[in-house]
Amino acid sequence: MHGNVYLKAIFKRNALEKLNMSESKNYRDILEKYEAKREYLVSAFQDIQEKDGYLSENAVKESADYFGISKADAYSVVSFYAQFKFRRPGKHIIRVCKGTACHVRGSGTLLAALEERLGIKEGETTPDGLISLERVACLGACALAPAMVVDGKVHARMTLAQLDKILKGLQ
């Protein structure tokens, strides 16, 4: 029961955010690619998130039904993994690498600059829903630190001048 109350609170915040990205109405197409065996639970959630950008309350519920487990059980699994998001992300996603090599080469400054320029903290989305700012575990581009990813594209040897250029291009 407690799990459900917590879930509701989290998803309620989502409902308040008016963004133009729409959540899939039907998850059956994705779910039915998988046998209803528990080992496919995480894979199915990965596919849903890839499509929607996050996991809505509905997505968790429908998946739990499909795999024959409780909603709380499903939520306990996905909430364990850093990859899953329960709030709708912005149109563009900037992810700053927090790996060791990036750390010693100034990813902290990069993040501070992003927070200042966007007016949001790590893990948040700009009020207009344009940009989400996240941190990501090591990208493996350590030799070209500091690195960040914008909408899936890796940018290496980041400088503040480059950052401003990239931000200008995001609309």
- Establish if 139 lies at the interface with other proteins (CB under 8 A): yes
Phi, psi of 6 (to 5 degrees): -65, -45
Phi, psi of 108 (to 5 degrees): -65, -45
**7 versus 145: smaller Cβ distance to other proteins:** 145
**Minimum distance of other proteins from residue 26's CB (angstroms):** 22
- Establish if 166 lies at the interface with other proteins (CB under 8 A): no
In sequence order, the 6+-apart residues with CB closer than 8 A to the CB of 99 are: 107, 137, 138, 139, 140, 142, 145, 147
Q: Which two tokens stand for residue 41?
A: 């639970």
DSSP β-ladder status, 153-155 and 148-150: antiparallel
**Minimum distance of other proteins from residue 40's CB (angstroms):** 7
The only residue of 19, 36, 144, 167 in contact with other proteins, by rule CB under 8 A: 144
Rounded to the nearest angstrom, the gap between the alpha carbon of residue 68 and the centroid of all alpha carbons in its chain is: 26
Task: Give the interface size with other proteins as a residue count (CB under 8 A).
Answer: 47
- Establish if 137 lies at the interface with other proteins (CB under 8 A): yes
Phi, psi of 18 (to 5 degrees): -100, 105
**15 versus 82: smaller Cβ distance to other proteins:** 82
What x-and-dash track marks residues 86-105 binding other proteins by CB under 8 A? ------------xxxx-xxx
Q: How far apart are CA 45 and CA 42, in angstroms?
A: 5
Query: Where along the sequence are the contacts to other proteins (CB under 8 A)?
Result: 37-43, 46, 76-77, 80-84, 98-101, 103-106, 108-110, 112-113, 116, 136-145, 147, 152, 154-157, 160-161
